[in-house]
Structures are given as C-alpha cells and as structure tokens.
Amino acid sequence: MDAREFIKKTAAGYNTTNAFISSRTSAGYINPSVWNREVLKHVEANLVVSKLGKTYTDLLNKPGMTLYVTVGSEPTSAAAVAESDQVAISPYAVTQVTFTPSEYGAAYQLTNKEKARSFVNLMQDMTQALGYKLARDKDDTVVALLQASAGNSVVSNGVDSTAIASTDTLDYDDIVNAKKAIMVDKLFPKQLIVGAEGYADLLKLQNFRDASQFGGDVARTGFIGRVAGLDVYWSTQIVASTTATNLVLGTDGSGIPSFGICQKVNPYLETEYNALGRYTTIVAVEEYDVQVLRANGICTILSHAS
C-alpha cells in the first residue's frame, strides 16, 4: 500500500479574505437574505354550524325586508266518537318566526405604494381574508343564538351548572341524555357539535373511538365521526373558558332543522379606488338573519373545559 502523508492545515492556511465568510461586510451584499413569497394563512376555523340550518331564499335579491315563517305545533290525538255525537273541533295552533336580515361586512385598504413594493399579491390575500371574515362571523352568530335559545339543557354528571368541576367532562351518558331530551319533545336528534375540549373528551371514550376509525379531512370539513347515532362536528366557534357549551341539534319529522338562515344578499365584493389618496378600498358584504325554528330541537351540554 502506498504511503500517503496527511498535512493538517492551520487557520492561517485559509483565505481569510474570502468574501463568502459571513463575518465580512461584503458577504451581506453577495449572500442576500431570501424571503419566501407565500403568506402563511391563519388556520381557518371550521365553519360548519351555519350549513346545518335551513336556508330560506324568499328574500334573496328580491323586494322586502321581513320574512315570516309559520311553524306548526304538534297536533293532539284524535278521539273516539260515539255514533250520535259530533266530532270535536280541535284548535289549529301555529306560531310565527320573523326573519329581519341585517348587513354584515368587513373591509381593507391598500395603498399604491404598498401594492408596488410588496413581494406578495396583497389584493388576492386581502380578498381571501375578507371572505373568511364573513363566513366566520356567520358561524359566530349561529352558535351564539343556538347556545342562548336552546330549549333543553344537560349538565355533565347531572351536577348544578354552577358547580361544574374538573371531573365533569363530556361523556357518553351526557350525549344520550341530550338525545333523550330532544326525543321527549317528539323531535329527532341529528348532530353533536363540540369545541376542542369536547373533542378531546370524546377521543377518550371507547364508544366514539370504535365508531370513528376513519381518515377524514377534519380541518376542512369539521366532521369528526359518529357517536350514539349522531354526526359529530368540531367547531372552533364552540369556545370555552372553564365551561364548554356543546350543542346537540335535531330536526322535526319532516327533516327541517331547528334553526334557519334567511339570506337577503349573498356575499359580494366591491373595490373602490381613491385617486387623490392613491389607495384602493376592498369591501365584502352580505345580508342575512338567523332565527330558531324549534327551540326544543336544540340541547346544550355543559361540561368542564380546561
């Protein structure tokens, strides 16, 4: 084997005037910092609750500012009639739900200077963000109404709502009790909507894990599986501090949901350029109203949230 001589070079043996050495000022000119041209989007919340209601389009792009919806109550049973008697007349009982749409909007402004100097498409990014803001506001509105107007309520472990402790987490019995509360009112429970805390509680239940072994795109659809015969959705609009207000939603015998959305104007986008100010205003607007159709078709489940 040929002998080879290894020579250890000292620091003095390197070219310390090399412009690529990061400690030299010139390195900053020929080794520039590079910015990724993509703006990382905010994690889009699951906007799933509003789509579970009944949509009314009677006012959509039509004259009128108010929509009245007639909701029938459960009829009483018929009665036996003797041969010589007249049939008793029953009262025809209905109620009325009033929809009065309101405008919801959001806007951004973009100066010509910002547009010319930005290395990302700010107009496109702002447009997408405005659409998301409208959608999130609709889900916020729906969830707040359902939580405040529910005709039934269950508290985890059957404790008083003011005495919920860390052990009072969402469990299978709570879900069954909420279903029962809706069914007692002769309505049909269909969906369970939970927040992050409720989702974590469900994952600890064998009943849920056994029924939910599938690969779904939870982040985009919100659908996370089934439990006790209910479709389960996760929504970031179910927020909590120490107590979570989960929701079970039902329908009537015709399959009509317990809440409705009257759409007056679908979401639209307008831009306006101000020549003197040299800026563009981007405005997104829609008009709708949300109302409860059957309060007893909604049941809240109060549980501990850490």
What mean pLDDT is predicted for residues 22-32? 70
pLDDT given for residue 47 in this prediction: 73
| Residue pLDDT, tens place only, 263-302 | 999 999 999 999 999 999 999 999 999 999 999 999 999 9
Per the domain annotation, does 148 fall within a domain?
Answer: yes
Q: What CATH number is associated with residue 289?
A: 3.90.1690.10
Distance CA 102, CA 145 (A): 15
Does the structure show a pLDDT above 90 at 54?
A: yes
Buried b or exposed e, range 74-90, using 16+ CB within 10 angstroms: eeeeeeeeeeeeeeeee
pLDDT given for residue 75 in this prediction: 72
Domain assignment of residue 196, given as a range: 50-64+102-304
pLDDT given for residue 77 in this prediction: 80
What mean pLDDT is predicted for residues 167-172? 92
Per the domain annotation, does 6 fall within a domain?
Answer: no
Helix (H, G, I), strand (E, B) or coil at 159: coil
Per the domain annotation, does 285 fall within a domain?
Answer: yes
Higher pLDDT, 203 or 97: 97
Per the domain annotation, does 21 fall within a domain?
Answer: no
What's the domain count of the chain?
1
What's the pLDDT band for 215 if we cut at 50, 70, 90?
A: very low
Per the domain annotation, does 155 fall within a domain?
Answer: yes
Does the structure show a pLDDT above 60 at 217?
A: no
Both tokens of 130, joined, read: 């405005």
pLDDT given for residue 197 in this prediction: 92
What's the pLDDT band for 214 if we cut at 50, 70, 90?
A: very low
Does the structure show a pLDDT above 70 at 115?
A: yes
Residue indicated by tokens 């004259």: 63
The answer to whether the beta carbons of residues 204 and 172 sit under 8 Å apart is no
Per the domain annotation, does 97 fall within a domain?
Answer: no
What's the pLDDT band for 219 if we cut at 50, 70, 90?
A: very low
Q: How many CA atoms lie less than 13 Å away from 271 in the CB half-sphere?
A: 12
Per the domain annotation, does 95 fall within a domain?
Answer: no
pLDDT given for residue 112 in this prediction: 93
Which of 31-45, 75-89, 111-125, 186-200 has the weakest average pLDDT? 31-45
Distance CA 39, CA 11 (A): 43
- Please report the sign of the dihedral spanned by the C-alpha atoms of residue 40, residue 131, residue 256, residue 97: positive
Which of 45-49, 207-211, 254-258 has the weakest average pLDDT? 207-211
Q: Which residues have a Cβ under 8 Å from the Cβ of 225 and sit 6 or more positions away?
A: 202, 208, 211, 212, 214, 216, 232
What's the pLDDT band for 38 if we cut at 50, 70, 90?
A: low
Per the domain annotation, does 145 fall within a domain?
Answer: yes
Number of H helices, E strands in the chain: 7, 12
Name the CA radius of gyration of the chain, rounded: 30
